[in-house]
């Protein structure tokens, strides 16, 4: 009887651990579920080291104040609409998307919208080389872990989020983004109006 009870207890523990493992690996759907129902949602917080300061031009005062200590939090950017792009140098779709982002950035910064790249799962020197080789001059931060990606529900790269002045996520594009999707996302961020989640182009799974 005792042996049977121990066996049942062990089996129950194994099942509990298995369920916990599945749940821990499951993507965070908070943002997409909210956008699907037409609601904006608070942007998950992060505190990340600056990878490249870029050329924010008219947004320099806000960006420089946030990046003064070499790290940036989203709270420090509150009051400025943000286009947040997750990427890595080894991601071929990210390379294909780069010119689209740079074109969008050059238009959006004149309207007071900050583009912010979030480099992940990458070697720092490779990431810096990527930005300079492709001549991307919007600011970038770096997450050496997967914490930010998990908090944002990112399951592949590239992915792009649109954040309003109030720090609420109003849009999300999964995969490479188009010029039109950027324009529509920027408009939603400026208006603080939820746009929803859209499917973009190619994407690679995170490592």
Whole-number pLDDT of residue 4: 56
Cα–Cα distance, 113 to 121 (Å, whole number): 26
Whole-number pLDDT of residue 1: 55
Cα–Cα distance, 115 to 181 (Å, whole number): 14
Whole-number pLDDT of residue 18: 37
The answer for residues whose C-beta is within 8 angstroms of residue 130's C-beta and 6 or more apart is 89, 94, 95, 136
Whole-number pLDDT of residue 169: 98
The answer for residues whose C-beta is within 8 angstroms of residue 5's C-beta and 6 or more apart is none
Whether the Cβ atoms of residue 63 and residue 139 lie closer than 8 Å to each other? yes
Q: Look-up: residue for tokens 């140098």?
A: 89
The domain made up of 28-205 has a fold known as Glutaredoxin (3.40.30)
Residues of the chain with pLDDT under 50: 3, 6, 8, 10-25
Whole-number pLDDT of residue 206: 85
* Domain spans of the chain, in order of start: 28-205
The per-residue pLDDT for range 151-176, each reduced to its tens digit, is: 999 999 999 999 999 999 999 999 99
The single-letter DSSP state of residue 44 is: P
């Amino acid at each position: 009887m005792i042996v049977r009870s121990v066996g049942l207890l062990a089996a129950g523990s194994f099942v509990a651990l298995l369920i916990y493992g599945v749940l821990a690996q499951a993507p965070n759907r908070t943002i997409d579920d909210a956008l699907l129902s037409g609601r904006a949602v608070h942007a998950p917080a992060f505190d990340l080291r600056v990878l490249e300061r870029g050329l924010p031009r008219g947004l320099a005062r806000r960006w420089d104040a946030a990046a003064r200590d070499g790290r940036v939090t989203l709270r420090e950017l509150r009051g400025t609409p943000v286009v947040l792009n997750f990427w890595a140098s080894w991601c071929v779709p990210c390379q294909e998307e780069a010119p689209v982002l740079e074109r969008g950035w050059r238009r959006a910064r004149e309207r007071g919208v900050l583009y912010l790249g979030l480099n992940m799962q990458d070697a720092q020197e490779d990431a810096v080389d990527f930005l300079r080789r492709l001549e991307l001059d919007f600011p970038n931060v770096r997450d050496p872990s997967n914490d930010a990606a998990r908090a944002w529900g990112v399951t592949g790269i590239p992915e792009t989020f649109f954040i309003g002045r109030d720090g609420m996520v109003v849009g999300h594009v999964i995969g490479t983004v188009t010029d039109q999707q950027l324009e529509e996302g920027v408009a939603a961020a400026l208006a603080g109006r939820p746009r929803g989640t859209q499917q973009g182009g190619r994407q690679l799974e995170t490592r």
